[in-house]
Structure 1
Amino acid sequence: MFNRRQLLGASAALVSTAAWAKTSNMGLPEAAVMEKAETQPPVKPTSGPDYNPVVTLNGWTLPYRMNNGVKEFHLVAEPVEREMAEGMTAYLWGYNGQSPGPTIEAVEGDRVRIFVTNKLPEHTTIHWHGMILPSGMDGVGGLTQPHIPVGKTFVYEFDLVKSGTFMYHPHSDEMVQMAMGMMGFFVVHPKDPKFMSVDRDFVFLLNAYDIDPGSYVPKVMEMTDFNMWCWNSRVFPDISPLVVSKNDRVRVRVGNLTMTNHPIHMHGYDFEVTCTDGGWVRPEARWPEVSIDIPVGAMRAYEFDAKYAGDWAIHCHKSHHTMNAMGHDIPTFIGVDKTKVAEKIKKIRPEYMPMGTKGMADMGEMEMEIPENTIPMMTGWGPHGPIEMGGMFSVVKVREGISAGDYADPGWYENPPGTQAWEWTGEVPDATKSKDAKTQITPKHSSHG
């Protein structure tokens, strides 16, 4: 896919990184910084083929400059502070002021030049996950390039030979740097703007941390027992909603850089998987789903037509992944009478509240004292009471008449009369119950006999 000139040019660019590191940074494009955790408006293309830009959930798109036909970007690897939700901030590593880093957008056929400045306390690199490029640009420290020393700037330069959805992350001290939040999306739009076009295009990364209640820094050695399950390093109730105008064609791109798979389930719709990080899925190979499992180190994109107005939940279907700051050693008290022991404890701690004897729903309603820089395990309020969620949970908000480019939260949906579940006060039919635990044979009806 590369001619000799491209390969030689790419190799020369990599070899010359040492020179780049030694010279002044006056020639670098500006390193844009984002300090907000809210979803930022999409960035419309200013040059080259037209495309519908993506919307990064609780994130933003990195600006670029044109230099003799090459799109130039500047990423700064650095320690950052990320608000995971109101009342909780994590000390992470990321890019340009945030974790995950900004989404990079370009077009199939573009040549890109990406400057990477290292402001971490240790060396780093960037691997362009899923992209087809010269070996010397692949970003594996020690194998395909020298590690980027602290305080130095290296250059990656290559042609975008295919469209699709890709990711970027370090391949230096990868266990620590990814556990600290270093990752981002790289979206390459098709050269033909009519190919796989949609009206709304959302992207977000799945990531996870183990942060003890009251602390700020993730435990980078953790492999299994994470307690903060995030979308773009945010947790419910402060993950932005996916705002959609009724009848829009919508794409949702989800990348997984955690250590486990995540079955992403969306209510109210079925959809088709149309893209992986390997490329677009041919129409004859697609299938209908309401949940799609996102494997570790992979991306899945799905599409649907927004026919049905409402507030539709979207979440990971692993129930522990829709909770915050979980304590894995909490005992189960369901069915236990804690009245007497609670009376004794209250003599020492008057504010003590016995919980968990009937389930955990009371955690979503009560305001308990929790450590500083920690948010409740189950939280969030909707128009009808506590939502009792956390972690990987948000809402797809489909409304009539939302203008193109408008992603502002429209508020809660009001269900039309007669379309919402209600309390029944009339006569209730008998509820047939099984008499024992054995398998029952369904009786035949005479009409089927």
Structure 2
Amino acid sequence: MITRRQILGGGAFLASAAAWSKTSAMGLPDAPVMESPDMQPPIFPSSGPDYQPVVTLNGWTLPHRMTGGVKEFHLVAEPVERELGPGMTAYLWGYNGQSPGPTIEAVEGDRVRIFVTNRLPEHTTIHWHGMILPCGMDGVTGLTQPGIPPGKTFVYEFDLVKSGTFMYHPHADEMVQMAMGMMGFFVIHPKDPALHRVDRDFVFLLNAFDIEPGSYVPRVMEMTDFNLWTWNSRVFPGISHLVVNKDDRVRVRVGNLTMTNHPIHMHGYDFEVTCTDGGWVRPEARWPEVSIDIPVGAMRAYEFDAKYLGDWAIHCHKSHHTMNAMGHDVPTFIGADKTEVSRKIRTVQPEYMAMGNRGMADMGEMEMPLPDNTIPMMTGWGQFGAIEMGGMFSVVKVREGISANDYADPGWYEHPEGTVSYEWTGDVPAPAKAAGGETVAPAAKPGDHSDH
């Protein structure tokens, strides 16, 4: 739902509708605010060249108005509250009520005028990442423009000279402002409606935060040891699913504004890399992948034909990036016998649960007390139990009969009979022997399920 409700000061105060009315009366385009963390439906063009609009995972597209043939947008840089996942909220900085800010969509050849109002406690700018434009519109504080002071509005105006996948973010105190969540997507569609046309076009940004359990504000001085890895400032199971109709041509655009690379892997398919930071990849130069590494500060787009029905995982392939609230100073207890120490601890803390001596999978199913405003390291359930993932993880849901503009969750995939992995109940072969005769893996004793 887009409303005029604006979050200020970490969510402690709300601006009134009258303030927005005054802004509009002064000649600025309206600055709508998004409150919902859910993915919003696409906005189809009402004039000009046709295009298939994008949908932003857990995000939305910023509306515009036309003034004298120019597309006008209004971004408001401000403190926001963002639900990272069920049970956890962060106090961030963003645009128009959310972090990341709304996706801006336009068409190659458009002239755009973007009003940027600063409601932050310090100056800011916006850099239009990857775009060709006049130097004075590039948004680098001190180099190409003065910073936008708090309470002021600056105007950026330029022609969109090429189509592709781009981003926006500050180049002002960026260690703080980007670490606090200030970023967004900018998609420029080709002027020719038939060029690079797809049926579904998904976009999301990779970002990361360091937020201690029980706290709300990111530690912005952190450079390497982040504990929350997110897509559009959301963690699994709060990340939108990518719902697709069978045989759709699908594009996925990913931008990386974290401080490390991310190999994005999608199950069940191979795909073609069709767009990079520099523009579209010529058909004869495209290459097949099942994982695409997204470098820091880079954008990649890939496409596939949705031939195979199912619920297919899509995730970062750095294992600790698919965990929530990941701690790094945790000792390894695999193989340790914690029976006696657990007994002693329970004399003073009856609810104590031993963990880690069999691995960490138990955490996916445990219901245990957590500090306020945090989420389990592994959470989220599928039709067969705990999925044991978090962070940068979602599901591509390919179904038959999904209408063209339907992105609603169709539920879990109904597997045809005989197509689900099952337990073997026959004889189990003996362990293999190495050349010297020693056993490669020790044989388990029947019924041996001990933790030792």
Q: TM-score, structure 1 length as denominator? A: 0.91
Please state whether the residue corresponding to 1:251 is helix, strand or coil: strand
Alignment of 1:74-153 (within 5 A): 74-153=74-153
Give the corresponding residue for 1:160.
160
The CA deviation at 1:434 is 3.0
Give the corresponding residue for 1:169.
169
Distance in 2 between the 1:361 and 1:184 partners?
Answer: 35
Give the corresponding residue for 1:290.
290
The CA deviation at 1:433 is 4.1
Distance in 1 between the 2:269 and 2:328 partners?
Answer: 33
What whole-Å deviation, never above 9, does each CA across 1:107-163 have from its counterpart, x for those lacking one? 000000000000000000000000000000000011001100000000000000000
The CA deviation at 1:348 is 1.2
Give the counterpart letter for 2:355 in structure 1: M
Please state whether the residue corresponding to 1:363 is helix, strand or coil: helix
Alignment of 1:216-235 (within 5 A): 216-235=216-235
Alignment of 1:49-448 (within 5 A): 49-435=49-435
Please tell me whether the aligned partners of residues 24 and 30 of structure 2 are also in contact (alpha carbons under 8 angstroms): no
What whole-Å deviation, never above 9, does each CA across 1:287-311 have from its counterpart, x for those lacking one? 1100000000000000000000000
Distance in 2 between the 1:430 and 1:51 partners?
Answer: 60
Distance in 2 between the 1:126 and 1:25 partners?
Answer: 25
Give the counterpart letter for 1:397 in structure 2: K
Unaligned runs of 5+ in 2: 1-22, 441-452
Please state whether the residue corresponding to 1:348 is helix, strand or coil: coil
The CA deviation at 1:432 is 2.7
The CA deviation at 1:25 is 6.4
Distance in 1 between the 2:169 and 2:159 partners?
Answer: 19
Distance in 1 between the 2:437 and 2:91 partners?
Answer: 52
Please state whether the residue corresponding to 2:178 is helix, strand or coil: helix
Please tell me whether the aligned partners of residues 77 and 119 of structure 2 are also in contact (alpha carbons under 8 angstroms): yes
Distance in 1 between the 2:341 and 2:172 partners?
Answer: 52
Distance in 1 between the 2:169 and 2:437 partners?
Answer: 52
Instruction: Indicate the RMSD between aligned Cα atoms, in angstroms.
Output: 1.5
The CA deviation at 1:414 is 1.1
Give the counterpart letter for 2:57 in structure 1: L
Distance in 2 between the 1:309 and 1:98 partners?
Answer: 33
The CA deviation at 1:431 is 4.9
Give the counterpart letter for 2:356 in structure 1: G
Give the corresponding residue for 2:18.
none
- After superposition, the Cα gap between the structure-2 partners of 1:437 and 1:158, relative to the gap in structure 1 and judged at 3 Å, is farther
The CA deviation at 1:426 is 2.1
Distance in 2 between the 1:235 and 1:437 partners?
Answer: 48
Distance in 2 between the 1:366 and 1:179 partners?
Answer: 31
- After superposition, the Cα gap between the structure-2 partners of 1:214 and 1:427, relative to the gap in structure 1 and judged at 3 Å, is same
Give the counterpart letter for 1:223 in structure 2: M
Give the counterpart letter for 2:206 in structure 1: L
- After superposition, the Cα gap between the structure-2 partners of 1:359 and 1:368, relative to the gap in structure 1 and judged at 3 Å, is same
Please tell me whether the aligned partners of residues 266 and 291 of structure 2 are also in contact (alpha carbons under 8 angstroms): yes
Bigger shift: 385-394 or 419-428?
419-428
What whole-Å deviation, never above 9, does each CA across 1:403-432 have from its counterpart, x for those lacking one? 000000000001101111011112344553
Distance in 1 between the 2:373 and 2:307 partners?
Answer: 40
Q: TM-score, structure 2 length as denominator? A: 0.91
Q: Percent identity?
A: 83
Distance in 2 between the 1:437 and 1:187 partners?
Answer: 62
